[in-house]
Amino acid sequence: MMGRRPAVLLDRDGTLTEPRHYPSSPADLVLQAGIVRPLQRLQSLGIALVVVTNQAGLAHGYFADKDLDAMHIHLRSELAADGVHLDGIYACPHHPDGVVADLSVQCTCRKPEPGLLLMAARELGLDLSRSWMVGDFASDVAAGRRAGCHTAWVGPAALQTNGPEFVEAKDPNLRAATTAEALQTIADLMVSQRDLKGGAIVERRLR
């Protein structure tokens, strides 16, 4: 049986792409600076790259499924232009205080709940214990921890040492001012642990 792959699970808004208030069109998704090279490197190590994103704008009626599809076609093509392939994009459309009836529920996939990560792991055959969750919100870190991943908190807030966000994020494995920096460090860790511990994190490269 083929081993389960490690993954880097990335939050979308403010992590993979620049922060925007409720992005609703492809032009709203601008890749963060410097992330392409570390993503290429992770991919070349056989690490799955998966987006896990809360999209409560669907429940709030700010945009529709077709808009989200258009955004993600754009996101995939922006990355594909640099040879980066996303193994999956998982989005939670829910919010308990939404206006779209079907989506206005307390779900188990809105981060900090781990549902999106667990679904990705099931569908893509991921080993969450060797995977990383990377995000700019404390709720990303919390979701990653609940799913049993290593966690990286990125962005300006990630460097704070007090306040409610800090309390919620508790103890990420890594903090970095930028996503690019975190991804480089994760790639380094995955390589060195494989070398040092005979496959503690990266069991083997996929062919």
- Enumerate the active-site residues: 11, 13
**Cα separation of 149 and 137, whole Å?**
16
Of residues 92-111, those binding Mg ion (CB under 5 A): none
Interface residues with Zn ion (CB under 5 A) are 92, 94, 107, 109-110
The radius of gyration of the chain from alpha carbons, rounded to an integer in Å, stands at: 16
Whether the Cβ atoms of residue 35 and residue 158 lie closer than 8 Å to each other: no
The one among 5, 6, 11, 169 contacting Mg ion by CB under 5 A: 11
57 binds Mg ion (CB under 5 A): no
- Nearer to Mg ion by Cβ, of 13 and 113: the residue is 13
113 binds Mg ion (CB under 5 A): no
Cβ at position 125, least distance to Zn ion in Å: 22
**Cα separation of 199 and 191, whole Å?**
9
Whether the Cβ atoms of residue 52 and residue 117 lie closer than 8 Å to each other: yes
Cβ at position 107, least distance to Zn ion in Å: 3
- Nearer to Zn ion by Cβ, of 107 and 189: the residue is 107
Any idea what DSSP says for residue 133?
A: E
151 binds Mg ion (CB under 5 A): no
Q: Can you say whether residue 131 is alpha, beta or left, with left for phi > 0 and alpha for psi between -120 and 50 degrees?
A: beta
- Partner whose footprint covers residue 67, from Mg ion, Zn ion, none (CB < 5 to 8 Å by kind): none
